[in-house]
């Protein structure tokens, strides 16, 4: 009896992780070996504030979940201690937070992840983390769209000032 309960509990855990892999916009896998308790607590706090779920999971459980979610390419990074961050709201937030934390703490290593259903490696994760935020990109776009009007207004103002001086 107890054996069946344990097996069912493990299957339920795999189902939960599978659902998280399928429903998250981005998932980041990291090696946290070497971080002390206060560093992990600070990292969890930063991730929680951004709406990112952070867990330490067994690789065997993760491999079963990746197989069920049809993301088996992620299995190659599932070695050693594995922490995983799931975000359902922002595709860039987990990569950005973990990458910034890794810059300050050499012990944290990004291994790879999944962004919008596509498996990516650590280098692609770092490139994603370096992108400006959505708000930053929108402000850049707005600036580019406003530039022609701003230049036109400055030209009109310069012509008006020149006419005032000559009059």
Is the CB of residue 17 less than 8 Å from the CB of residue 42? no
- The whole-number pLDDT of residue 67 equals 85
C-alpha 69: how far from chain center: 19
Question: Which range of residues forms the domain containing residue 155?
Answer: 133-166
Residues 29 and 90 in one domain: yes
Domain containing residue 86: CATH number: 3.30.70.1730
Residues 13 and 41 in one domain: yes
Phi, psi at residue 90, to the nearest 5°?
Answer: -135, 120
The length of the chain is 167
Residues 90 and 139 in one domain: no
Residues 90 and 155 in one domain: no
Q: Which residue has the higher pLDDT, 167 or 158?
A: 158
- The whole-number pLDDT of residue 167 equals 66
Question: What is the distance between the alpha carbons of residues 148 and 130, in angstroms, rounded to a whole number?
Answer: 28
Q: What is the pLDDT of residues 1-12, one digit of tens each?
A: 568 888 888 888
Residues 117 and 127 in one domain: yes
State how many domains the chain has. 2
Tokens at 134, concatenated: 């959505």
Residues 34 and 111 in one domain: yes
Q: What is the pLDDT of residues 43-92, one digit of tens each?
A: 899 989 888 889 888 888 888 888 888 888 888 888 888 889 988 888 88
């Amino acid at each position: 009896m107890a054996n069946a309960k344990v097996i069912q509990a493990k299957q339920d855990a795999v189902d939960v992780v599978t659902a998280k892999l399928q429903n998250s916009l981005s998932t980041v896998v990291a090696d946290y070996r070497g971080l002390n308790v206060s560093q992990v607590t600070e990292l969890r706090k930063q991730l929680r504030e951004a709406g990112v779920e952070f867990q330490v999971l067994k690789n065997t459980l993760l491999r079963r979940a990746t197989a069920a979610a049809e993301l088996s390419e992620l299995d190659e990074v599932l070695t050693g201690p594995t922490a995983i961050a799931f975000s359902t709201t922002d595709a860039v937030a987990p990569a950005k937070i973990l990458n910034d934390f890794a810059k300050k703490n050499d012990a944290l290593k990004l291994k790879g992840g999944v962004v919008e259903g596509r498996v990516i490696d650590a280098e692609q994760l770092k490139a994603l983390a370096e992108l400006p935020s959505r708000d930053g990109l929108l402000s850049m776009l707005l600036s580019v769209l406003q530039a022609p009007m701003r230049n036109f207004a400055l030209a009109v103002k310069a012509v008006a000032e020149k006419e005032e001086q000559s009059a």
